Amino acid sequence: MNKRLLCHLVGNVVRVCGALMILPIIVSLIKRSGDTLPLLLSMLIALAVGTALALVQPRRDTLRAREGFAIVAFSWIIVSFLGGLPFFFSGHIPSLVDCFFETVSGFTTTGATILTDVEALPKGLLFWRSFTHWAGGMGVLVLSLALIPKMGARSIHLMRAESPGPSTDKLVPRVANNAKILYEIYVALSLFMVAALLFCGLDWYDSLTHMFGAAGTGGFGTYGDSIAHFNSAAVDIVVGIFMALFGVNFSIYYYLIHRNWRAAFGNSELRWYWIILLGVSAVVAVNIMPLYNGSFFTALRYSFFQASSIMTTTGYATADFDLWPQLSRVLLVMLMFIGASAGSTGGGIKVIRLQLLVKSMVRDIRRTVHPKSVNTVKLDGHTVDEGILSGVQGFFFAYILILLSAMVIVSLDGFSFETNFTAVLATLSNIGPGLGMVGPTGNFSAFSDLSKIVLSLCMLIGRLEVFPILMLFSPSAWKK
Amino acid sequence: MNIIIVGNGKVGYTLAQYLSKDGHDITILDRNQQALNRASETLDVMCVRGNGANVKTLIEAGAEQTDVIIAVTGNDELNMVCCLAAKQLGAKYSIARIRDPEYTESLTLLQKKLDIDQVINPERTTAQEISRLLRFPFAINIESFAHGRVEMVEFRTEDRDAVLNTPLSRLHSRYPRIQFTAVQRNGSAFIPDGASVLLPGDRVYATGDRESVTQFFKHLGKDTQRLKSALLIGGGHISYYLAKIIAGMGVYLRLIEIDEKKCLRLADQLDGVMVINADGTDQEVLDSENVGDCGALICLTNRDEENLITGLYGARHGVKKVIVKVNRMNAMDVMDDLGIDSAVSPKLTTANAILRSVRALNNSRNSVVEKVYGMLGGQVEAYEFTALEGAPYLNIPLNQLNIRKGILVSVLVRERKCIIPFGSDRIEAGDTVILTAKAGTVVNLEDAFDITEIRR
């Protein structure tokens, strides 16, 4: 392990993160919300820590897969800790564990909160809390790659460790240009969404903060009752559709811009994504019709928003889906597992992995019938590498294993099975709200510190797709 | 520029490495996933898996917008089809590696019909390199510029050479038609100025027209006598081309090849060459051929180790010129320590040739790059430019031009005549200008001068 390079690059990422705190400071000055000082203090600390780490000059600049994983994992942990300092300094969240939980939840775009009264927080802090979603959505390292011109030829390992999906394919030859293209698409979509929200009558502050939440597929709002606060069909539709758009693989938008229609529409993950999303929306709409006086379209408004919010792992709510019929609740939990597309800002297992798992299962069945048959798993006409296939199976197993073990620890607190299960699933899949006590109207404040740390780890494991965090605990990665 | 490289072998990988460092956007195409993984792990390039002759794969790799396609797979036919297909799709320039001697005779036709802009034949290029070395047996490297009018010869200075311990400004008056363009001392290279002094053991590049260079070495007392006999070990493509090239030089050439079938074919194809069917690495065989009395020993088998050991054996028995072929590029550095001056590597030669032409494609405003040549382990480069009408540096005496530090205007070629420039000489439109500079400092001719000064 090249520890000097690790320090150097993590320092650079921390500096970028510290520099980003200038935005909430500006907001707090405009809004005169009185939280400038804690934000400024945190920014200075982050810049100082970042600079100190970046001063370590690497002797060699060999960056292999393991360094890439470790840099990503450490960056996320340190950035989450430093990003939580404003809450601590302002005194609004007195416990450091709670601050860490809240910021991890922000950067990993989970949206799970320990705050019982969100609206009590000053505007600057709320802006920062939402902004962590936006920064974490596309990835803090990808952002650093786009901003810092030379991270070396091997920075692909950083991008691979941070980008969600079974394999990271480049759009253009250079990693830095890839990062730039992704962020350009991200910024453009975000601006469209802000414009749409402003058009719906929201003020600039609400538009921005809710865009951050939706774009990163995070789910932090600035009101206790989430999107339901606006009680507007237009806002529901805008946010619902944009969440779904941010859950699409960003490569698709690149292909669309370059008029490569075949690559864009021939993508089977995109097809499956929309079929699942719209299918579940329709079934849930029929299921909850009685709750909305038998009106299918009113029911569809709520069901599509919720399906989109859960599948993209955002976690915004326009209705308390915990009170919906069992079928709808179960379908939503299924969506929590599936998650969004690879290469999007969403979390979960990802549609493409589900596709590959189903296809390799079908292959195994075929093999039982014809033991000597030779089959390959194909996706969009290309044979999938066996290495990727076994990687996906390993990922799925690790995901379930972590889900179960975290549940065992969390159950020490003595809450119901439904609460424990969905709390772990909602954090591991980076959604936010689950069912029961952690439902859309509840929060995570009642858990013990141990559970909160375990759940924070779940969020990081989910966002970084298991292996970067697990690798930190592998002794052989650190041996000389 | 956008560049697609088909085939990620040693040549493809080396090209990707250097071109990516030069700032080009590289896409590598290969059928083998393992080869691609190696590139994507260590280089900042895009990898696409598939057959390079498949139009769908080429489109996926972006052939429609690409500036250059370089086909360097192990298969000549595949390389040709790749270039043809990519050209049809819209690639602007194509380079193919074609090595089979069967094709070389019909090359012009093939090139025209298949719309291939440049063909690289590693074996023939290597053979040409070797034949140049044989012409000046004492030279380590020889490169020609301006269509062969200018020659740059690298040699090692020895004790009591007449050029030692004299400032170059004084040497200039003694040899007015010779320019000393680069020096390597203790592993580091520099570009000499008037005050520099040559010391024994330096590797020096002397530049000038053919005649003057020959005269110069004669005057130095270096052995410029024609090579009388040479022993070739290994009967591959390089040996075939080399035998063809030096057949006219009046050299008594013996070729030792272990495979009888190959021997028969070579004997059939080549005239005036003694083909011997024996194991050329066997010392008994070498002794019976009087290796010590040979003018040159050239080891061209497929195994680096055997070439090296045979080469060392020859050097020990008094062969003056030993040339060794190596495939592994990291072996090149070791060579110097072992006492073998001249090593050739077809792979490196190919990569260098392609690298040069890609760099030369980067044409600029008022000058055309004709050639870029890396010397002294790539630390120094020599550039050949053509100065075009309208450039700001024309018709100004060189001593008023503010030439940047570390750059030497080595030679001007005007109306087929070679001029060693002094302070009062001027660059005129249409001149061929040969510069030497530290690697990577010059992209076009204007870079050599402080233009803002001129404009004022």
Instruction: Encode pLDDT of B212-259 as tens digits.
Output: 888 888 888 776 567 788 888 988 888 888 888 887 777 888 899 989
User: CB contact, 8 Å: B26 with chain A?
Assistant: yes
Is the model's pLDDT at A473 over the cut of 50? yes
**Contact between B40 and A174 using a beta-carbon 8 Å cutoff:** no
**Contact between A156 and B27 using a beta-carbon 8 Å cutoff:** no
Chain A nearest-CA residue for B60: A263
Which of B87, B120, B153 is the last residue before a domain boundary?
B120
C-alpha distances (whole Å) from A342 to each of A72, A193, A333, A470 are 18, 21, 19, 20
pLDDT-based confidence at residue B50 (cuts at 50, 70, 90)? confident
Mean of the pLDDT values across residues A312-325? 88
Which secondary structure element, helix H or strand E, spans residue B370, and what is its range? Answer: strand B367-375
- Mean pLDDT over each residue of chain A, to the nearest integer: 87
Nearest to B46 among A65, A170, A385 (CB): A170
For residue B47, which residues of chain A lie inside 8 Å, CB to CB? Answer: 170
Count the alpha carbons within 13 Å of A212 in the hemisphere toward its beta carbon.
Answer: 25
For residue A174, which residues of chain B lie inside 8 Å, CB to CB? Answer: 25, 44
B58 lies in a domain?
A: yes
pLDDT above 70 covers a percentage of chain B that reads 93
pLDDT-based confidence at residue B442 (cuts at 50, 70, 90)? confident
Count the alpha carbons within 13 Å of B99 in the hemisphere toward its beta carbon.
Answer: 19
pLDDT digits (tens, 9 = 90+) for B53-97: 888 888 888 888 888 999 998 888 899 999 999 988 888 888 998
Which secondary structure element, helix H or strand E, spans residue B405, and what is its range? Answer: none
B84: domain CATH number? Answer: 3.40.50.720
**Contact between A64 and B25 using a beta-carbon 8 Å cutoff:** no
B422 lies in a domain?
A: no
For chain A, what is the HEC assignment?
CCHHHHHHHHHHHHHHHHHHCHHHHHHHHHHCCCCHHHHHHHHHHHHHHHHHHHCCCCCCCCCCHHHHHHHHHHHHHHHHHHHCHHHHHHCCCCCHHHHHHHHHHHHCCCCCCCCCCHHHCCHHHHHHHHHHHHHHHHCHHHHHHHHCCCCCCCCHHHHHHHCCCCCCCCCCCCHHHHHHHHHHHHHHHHHHHHHHHHHCCCCHHHHHHHHHHHHCCCCCCCCCCHHHHHCCHHHHHHHHHHHHHHCCCHHHHHHHHCCCHHHHHCCHHHHHHHHHHHHHHHHHHHHHHHHHCCCHHHHHHHHHHHHHHHHCCCCCCCCCHHHCCHHHHHHHHHHHHHCCCCCCCCCCCCHHHHHHHHHHHHHHHHHHHCCCCCCCCEECCEECCHHHHHHHHHHHHHHHHHHHHHHHHHHHHCCCHHHHHHHHHHHHCCCCCCCHHHCCCCCCCCCCHHHHHHHHHHHHHHHCCCHHHHHHCCHHHCCC
- 3-state secondary structure (DSSP) of residue B371: strand
Which residues of chain A are at the B interface, by a Cβ-Cβ cutoff of 8 Å? 64-65, 153-157, 170-175, 177, 385
Is the model's pLDDT at A229 over the cut of 90? no
Closest CA to B26 of B51, B12, B5: B5
pLDDT-based confidence at residue B17 (cuts at 50, 70, 90)? confident
**Strands of the B321-325 sheet, one edge to the other:** B273-277, B252-257, B229-233, B296-299, B321-325, B342-344
Q: How far is B95 from chain A (nearest CA, A)?
A: 20
Chain B nearest-CA residue for A61: B42
Is the model's pLDDT at B365 over the cut of 60? no
B367 or A377, which is more confident: A377
**Contact between B44 and A64 using a beta-carbon 8 Å cutoff:** no
CA of residue B76 relative to chain centroid, distance = 22
**Contact between B27 and A65 using a beta-carbon 8 Å cutoff:** no
B249 or A258, which is more confident: A258
For residue A173, which residues of chain B lie inside 8 Å, CB to CB? Answer: 2, 20, 25-27, 44-46
B220 lies in a domain?
A: no
- The CA angle B192-B195-B199, to the nearest 5 degrees, is 65
Closest CA to A90 of A33, A15, A48, A23: A33
**Contact between A173 and B46 using a beta-carbon 8 Å cutoff:** yes
**Contact between A173 and B27 using a beta-carbon 8 Å cutoff:** yes
pLDDT-based confidence at residue A402 (cuts at 50, 70, 90)? very high
**Contact between A173 and B42 using a beta-carbon 8 Å cutoff:** no
Q: How far is B62 from chain A (nearest CA, A)?
A: 9
B407 lies in a domain?
A: no
Q: How far is A206 from chain B (nearest CA, A)?
A: 41
What ipTM score was computed for the predicted complex, to two decimals? Answer: 0.76
Is the model's pLDDT at A274 over the cut of 90? yes
A64 C-beta neighbours (distance < 10 Å), count? 13
Phi and psi angles of residue B419, each rounded to the nearest 5 degrees, phi first = -120, 125
Is the model's pLDDT at A283 over the cut of 90? yes
Question: Residue B155's beta-bridge partner residues?
Answer: B204
Mean of the pLDDT values across residues A429-434? 87
Interface of B with A in 294-333 (CB under 8 A): none
Which of B95, B120, B145 is the last residue before a domain boundary?
B120
pLDDT-based confidence at residue A284 (cuts at 50, 70, 90)? very high
C-alpha distances (whole Å) from B223 to each of A351, B155, B226, B298, B315 are 74, 12, 9, 19, 17
A433 C-beta neighbours (distance < 10 Å), count? 30
Is the model's pLDDT at A172 over the cut of 50? yes
**Contact between B26 and A170 using a beta-carbon 8 Å cutoff:** no
Is the model's pLDDT at A196 over the cut of 90? yes
Q: How far is A76 from chain B (nearest CA, A)?
A: 23
B279 lies in a domain?
A: yes
B298 lies in a domain?
A: yes
Interface of B with A in 382-441 (CB under 8 A): none
Number of domains in chain B: 2
For residue A171, which residues of chain B lie inside 8 Å, CB to CB? Answer: 46
Q: How far is A263 from chain B (nearest CA, A)?
A: 9
C-alpha distances (whole Å) from B342 to each of A37, A433, B207, B277, B380 are 70, 72, 19, 26, 18
pLDDT attached to residue A438: 86
- 3-state secondary structure (DSSP) of residue B409: strand
Residue B379 CB burial class (10 angstroms; 0-12, 13-18, ≥19): middle
**Contact between B20 and A153 using a beta-carbon 8 Å cutoff:** yes
- Are B230 and B251 in contact by the 8 Å Cβ rule? The answer is yes
pLDDT attached to residue A263: 81
Tokens of B280: 């050329």
Q: How far is B380 from chain A (nearest CA, A)?
A: 24
**Contact between A173 and B26 using a beta-carbon 8 Å cutoff:** yes
B114 lies in a domain?
A: yes
Residue A24 CB burial class (10 angstroms; 0-12, 13-18, ≥19): buried
Domain assignment of residue B55, given as a range: 2-120
Is the model's pLDDT at A118 over the cut of 50? yes
Amino acid at B42: T
pLDDT-based confidence at residue B456 (cuts at 50, 70, 90)? very low
pLDDT-based confidence at residue A345 (cuts at 50, 70, 90)? confident
CA of residue A448 relative to chain centroid, distance = 24
pLDDT attached to residue B146: 80
**Contact between B41 and A155 using a beta-carbon 8 Å cutoff:** no
Mutate to test the interface with A, among B45, B46, B66 (most CBs of A within 10 A): B46
Which of B277, B304, B319 is the last residue before a domain boundary?
B319
Mean of the pLDDT values across residues A447-468? 89
Count the alpha carbons within 13 Å of B209 in the hemisphere toward its beta carbon.
Answer: 12
Is the model's pLDDT at A298 over the cut of 80? yes
User: CB contact, 8 Å: B447 with chain A?
Assistant: no
Q: How far is B42 from chain A (nearest CA, A)?
A: 6
d(CA B156, CA B223) in angstroms, rounded, equals 13
Helix crossing, A351-369 with A386-410: angle to 10°? Answer: 110
**Contact between B41 and A173 using a beta-carbon 8 Å cutoff:** no
User: CB contact, 8 Å: B65 with chain A?
Assistant: no
B439 or B155, which is more confident: B155
Mutate to test the interface with B, among A69, A160, A168, A172 (most CBs of B within 10 A): A172
For residue A153, which residues of chain B lie inside 8 Å, CB to CB? Answer: 20, 42-44
pLDDT attached to residue B154: 85
For residue A156, which residues of chain B lie inside 8 Å, CB to CB? Answer: 40-41, 44
User: CB contact, 8 Å: B25 with chain A?
Assistant: yes
Beta strands in B218-365 (DSSP E): 229-233, 252-257, 273-277, 296-299, 321-325, 342-344
- 3-state secondary structure (DSSP) of residue B343: strand
d(CA B396, CA B425) in angstroms, rounded, equals 8
B26 lies in a domain?
A: yes
Nearest to A385 among B33, B42, B46 (CB): B33
Q: How far is A359 from chain B (nearest CA, A)?
A: 22
pLDDT digits (tens, 9 = 90+) for B164-201: 888 888 888 888 888 888 888 877 888 888 788 888 88
For residue B41, which residues of chain A lie inside 8 Å, CB to CB? Answer: 64-65, 154, 156-157
- Mean pLDDT over each residue of chain B, to the nearest integer: 82
**Contact between A385 and B25 using a beta-carbon 8 Å cutoff:** no
